[in-house]
Amino acid sequence: MKDKEFKSLIEICDRVLLDKEASIVTVSIPWLHILNEHPNSLPKYSELFNKSSFNELKWKLKYSLVRILGFLRLIKFKRYNPLKFKSKSTVIVSHLLNERQISSKDDFYFGNLHQDLTEEGVSSLMILLNHTIKGATEINAEFNTNQSGKSVLSNYLGFKTEWKIWKTLENESAKFVSLAKQKQNDFERRFYFQCAYYTMSPPSFTALRFYTELKEIFKMTTPAKVISTFEGHSWERMVYLAAREANPNVICFGYHHTLMFQRQHSAKRILGKKYDPNYILTAGDITASYFQSSAIAKNCEVLSVGIHRRKSYSNSISVDTLSKKKNYCLVTPDGIISEILFMFDFAVKSALLNPDINFILRLHPLISSEELVEKYPRYGQLPENVSFSTYSLENDFERSRWIFYRASSTAIYAVIEGLRPFYLAKKDEMSIDTLFELDSWKKILCSEDEVKQFFESDLKKSIPEIVSELKEAFDFCNNYFLPLKRQLFFNLLK
């Protein structure tokens, strides 16, 4: 997708979301919330800008199928047993990413905040979105056994409630079909047809299901404060709406725990006081500054509170640290297969042109080297100077001098450890550069042939020269993710 197309997509989605006729159902539709320009966010919009790939007959067949499948999902031979809760001062909404987290005391996003509040006598509840295949009833039984004060949301609310959600989405979808038929402009016609289709897709059901169940939980608990992760998803806005419908005086916090891209959008966009958090908390000063200069800062107070995964703050990078580095280049793609293939192929070609440099292929935790090699056998026969990482990230940082990156937050931590970052650019692509605001220290590579000159240039420099060149980038990245300001975070939610 080109930049011009991205801007037109944002414009039309926001027009629908901010229209005076927009309902709760409209705002709940994930497809209308454009997160950013990351390749993982955009494939579902590709048919909008490709006339040849969009066919109305094909669309009608897909649309009929998604409606039928949505209806069939209502028919489950099981009952929904809603959980019962007492009044709570604070409710934390987070994520259960895998089954290992069921027995873990710490939360991936909020660390031990839940336990800290409990130990201080603040009644709190942690509600988790279930991303595992394990059923909510079984998980909640384990949580109760461990007396953890945690619960996961259900993926089924009983036939009557599920039917109501289906019918609500069906009506909203029919509205978009009607609008599509009225449009003379080809792009708008395709847009509203696609909007109708994605309104009936599983993510839309999920967002309304979260809203429905959370609203009942908030009615029982009547919390004074509610906090959720905040990346720009529709379900996050449903959290704040559900909380306010249960208690109009509730204070809502959105915790932005990750990096931001140059074209980050939905998290920075105002949707109105019903849907916007009162506070946006960030993992560091850099992302706080991005929010403070955006539209949503008019409705929210932005505070940098840090993140529990950043254990310490580095005052400087030392000559001694850089002196220990070897001629290694770390390669760190996201967990998206297209990104892995592009970056690893780029690294292998670079390795063949630079036999004196060792390349370390580091996979995202979601994918193993065995799985990758099985599916793509070419990675089972790598050049001698290319290998998969078998060490910790810290160890890879310690021995590496350079890093190939694109959209990974690993690049930020790598700069703090003294690595020079090389952004791998694709032709005719919107940049997804993690370090888009950084003008110094990093290099942009458009082809494998450019790599050798940069390696050779660095190897000719003295360590003090490199330290001096690194300083500006180091200071920037050092403030991107900060150690958790525990007391500030804690006091806000007490």
> What pLDDT digit, counting tens, does each position of 226-283 carry?
999 999 999 999 999 999 999 999 999 999 999 999 999 999 999 999 999 999 999 9
**What is the pLDDT confidence band of residue 47, given thresholds at 50, 70 and 90?**
confident
How far is it, in rounded angstroms, from Cα 403 to Cα 426? 17
Question: Cα–Cα distances in Å, from 438 out to 421, 435, 480?
Answer: 11, 5, 12
* Confidence at 416, pLDDT banded by 50, 70, 90: very high
Residues 147 and 180 in one domain: no
User: Same domain for 69 and 109?
Assistant: no
Instruction: For residue 312, tell me if it sits in a domain.
Output: no
Of residues 317 and 285, the one with the higher pLDDT is 285
In what helix (H) or strand (E) does residue 338 lie, and over which residues does it extend?
A: helix 337-353
Whether residue 323 lies inside any domain: the answer is yes
Q: Which domain holds residue 132?
A: 90-152
Q: Are residues 337 and 387 in the same domain?
A: yes
Angstrom distance (rounded) from CA 225 to CA 92:
9
277, 309, 329 - which closes a domain: 277
**How many CA within 13 A on the CB side of residue 394?**
2
Is residue 285 scored above 90 in pLDDT? Answer: yes
Q: Please report which residue ranges of 23-108 form alpha helices under DSSP H.
A: 24-28, 56-72
490 lies in a domain?
no
- 145 & 166 share domain: no
The single-letter DSSP state of residue 20 is: T
Confidence band of 55 (pLDDT split at 50, 70, 90): confident
* Total structural domains within the chain: 3
266 in any annotated domain: yes
Domain annotation covers residue 84: no
The pLDDT assigned to 25 comes to 96
Give phi and psi for 479, each to the nearest 5: -100, 0
For residues 470 and 472, give the distance between their C-alpha atoms in angstroms, rounded to a whole number: 6
What are the pLDDT digits (tens) for 60-88? 999 999 999 999 888 886 778 888 899 99
**Rounded-to-integer distance, Cα 21 and Cα 31, Å:** 18
Residue 487 in domain? no
Regarding whether 325 and 238 lie in a shared domain, the answer is no
Q: Is there a domain that residue 392 lies in?
A: yes
395 and 251: one domain?
A: no
463 found inside a domain: yes
What percentage of the chain has pLDDT greater than the value 70? 100
Of the three residues 152, 176, 196, the one that is the final residue of a domain is 152
- Looking at the fold, whether 96 and 243 belong to one and the same domain comes out as no
pLDDT at residue 320 in the model: 86
Confidence of residue 400 (pLDDT cuts 50, 70, 90): very high
Mark whether 382 and 414 lie in a shared domain. yes
pLDDT band at 176 (very low <50, low <70, confident <90, very high): very high
Q: What is the pLDDT of residues 335-351, one digit of tens each?
A: 889 999 999 999 999 99
Give yes or no: residues 336 and 366 share one domain. yes
Same-domain status, 258 and 345: no
Q: What is the pLDDT of residue 230?
A: 97
State residue 314's pLDDT score. Answer: 85
> Which CATH number goes with the domain that contains 340?
3.40.50.2000
pLDDT tens profile 97-144: 888 888 888 898 999 888 888 888 889 999 999 998 898 888 998 888
Predicted confidence (pLDDT) per residue in 218-236, tens digit: 999 999 999 999 999 999 9
> Within this chain, do residues 21 and 148 fall inside the same structural domain, yes or no?
no
pLDDT at 184 over 80: yes
Do 59 and 165 sit in the same domain of this protein? yes
